[in-house]
């Protein structure tokens, strides 16, 4: 395979609102249900290069949401004629992970309430034949460990992203140990702050960059920080604030863009610039 995506499958129940305020009642501007997390990366990679052979490893529950996810991937494969290899465990113990997503399109923000389930307990990490392996939401994968990463690293470039803005001391220690076997760490500034223990964005990038083998890529809407642990590059984005966007999945699209471009390009600045531009384009097209 070209790319293996390992990690979380989450069913997203999305509500679009304007100017969300805590404690208030809001009319829904729209609502929809979809598969998030891995599905967001898969969609973006397929748009970027339909010829990619992609493998997916995760876990779902033996429930209605799990069946919805299986149907979604089957339909996606047929509609896009993709070379997709699915390794999705079905758990009789844990439900399919799902989330309530509130997208404030007036302020380009999204908030989520997640009911974590089967994907956090997955054990099928054995996809080692891909050129590139992307591990999604690593801070919610209970069974991911160093031995698994050592095995994957024999054949694959490894990238990793995260989802929590706050971690326990035990989780931070685990993430720091795991990152030593990762080539590219892709994080929001909030996630990087929690794991690095730093408050300044440049220092967050440098600290994470010192842990990984190649680069830490720390992103925010207005600025992206890139570090190999020694040098820090700041990329000021062309942030479009006046547009009213549904930004759900923006981080997943960004990660997919980094992977797709870095497969054939060693210039990290070109890769990050491309990833930001593609992510913005996709959000704009969805808005239209």
Q: How confident is the model at residue 47 (pLDDT cuts 50, 70, 90)?
A: very high
Look up the domain containing 171 and give its range.
3-287
CB atoms within 10 A of CB 140: 21
- 222: Cβ–Cβ under 8 A, 6 or more apart, which residues? 236, 237, 239
- List Cα–Cα distances, 58 to 62, 109, 257, in angstroms: 13, 27, 21
pLDDT by residue (tens digit) across 77-101?
Answer: 999 998 899 999 999 999 999 999 9
**pLDDT > 90: percent of the chain:** 86
pLDDT by residue (tens digit) across 153-175?
Answer: 999 999 999 999 999 999 999 99
Based on the structure, what is the number of domains in the chain?
Answer: 1
pLDDT by residue (tens digit) across 52-72?
Answer: 999 999 999 999 999 999 999
- 198: Cβ–Cβ under 8 A, 6 or more apart, which residues? 192, 204, 207
Where do we find the tokens 């500034």?
A: 189
Q: Is 53 exposed, middle or buried (0-12, 13-18, 19+ CB in 10 A)?
A: middle
Q: How confident is the model at residue 244 (pLDDT cuts 50, 70, 90)?
A: confident
Q: What is the average per-residue pLDDT within 272-277? A: 95
- Please report, for the domain that includes residue 13, its CATH number: 3.40.1190.20
Residue 127 pLDDT more than 70?
no
Mean of all residue pLDDT scores within the chain: 94
CA distance 85 to 277: 29
pLDDT of residue 131: 95
**pLDDT > 70: percent of the chain:** 97
pLDDT of residue 59: 98
Residue 242 pLDDT more than 70?
no
Q: What is the average per-residue pLDDT within 104-133? A: 91
């Amino acid at each position: 395979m070209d790319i293996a995506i390992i990690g979380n499958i989450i069913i997203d129940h999305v509500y679009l609102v304007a100017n969300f305020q805590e404690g208030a009642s809001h009319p829904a501007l729209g609502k929809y249900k979809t598969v998030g997390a891995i599905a967001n990366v898969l969609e973006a990679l397929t748009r970027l290069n339909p010829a990619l052979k992609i493998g997916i490893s995760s876990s779902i529950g033996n429930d209605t949401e799990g069946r919805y996810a299986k149907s979604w991937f089957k339909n996606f494969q047929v509609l896009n004629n993709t070379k997709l290899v699915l390794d999705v465990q079905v758990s009789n113990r844990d439900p399919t992970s799902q989330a309530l997503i509130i997208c404030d399109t007036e302020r380009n923000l999204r908030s989520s309430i997640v009911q974590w389930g089967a994907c956090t307990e997955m054990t099928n990490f054995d996809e080692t034949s891909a050129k590139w392996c992307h591990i999604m939401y690593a801070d919610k994968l209970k069974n991911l460990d160093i031995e698994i990463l050592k095995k994957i690293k024999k054949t694959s470039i490894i990238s990793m992203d995260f989802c929590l803005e706050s971690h326990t001391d035990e989780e931070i220690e685990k993430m720091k140990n795991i990152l030593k076997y990762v080539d590219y760490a892709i994080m929001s500034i909030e996630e990087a702050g929690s794991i690095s223990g730093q408050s300044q964005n440049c220092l967050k990038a440098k600290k994470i960059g010192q842990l990984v083998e190649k680069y830490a890529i720390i992103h925010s809407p207005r600025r992206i920080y890139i570090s190999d642990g020694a040098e820090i590059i700041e990329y000021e984005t062309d942030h479009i604030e006046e547009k009213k966007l549904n930004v759900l999945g923006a981080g997943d699209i960004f990660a997919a863009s980094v992977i797709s471009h870095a497969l054939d390009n060693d210039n990290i600045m070109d890769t990050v610039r491309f990833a930001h531009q593609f992510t913005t384009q996709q959000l704009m097209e969805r808005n239209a």
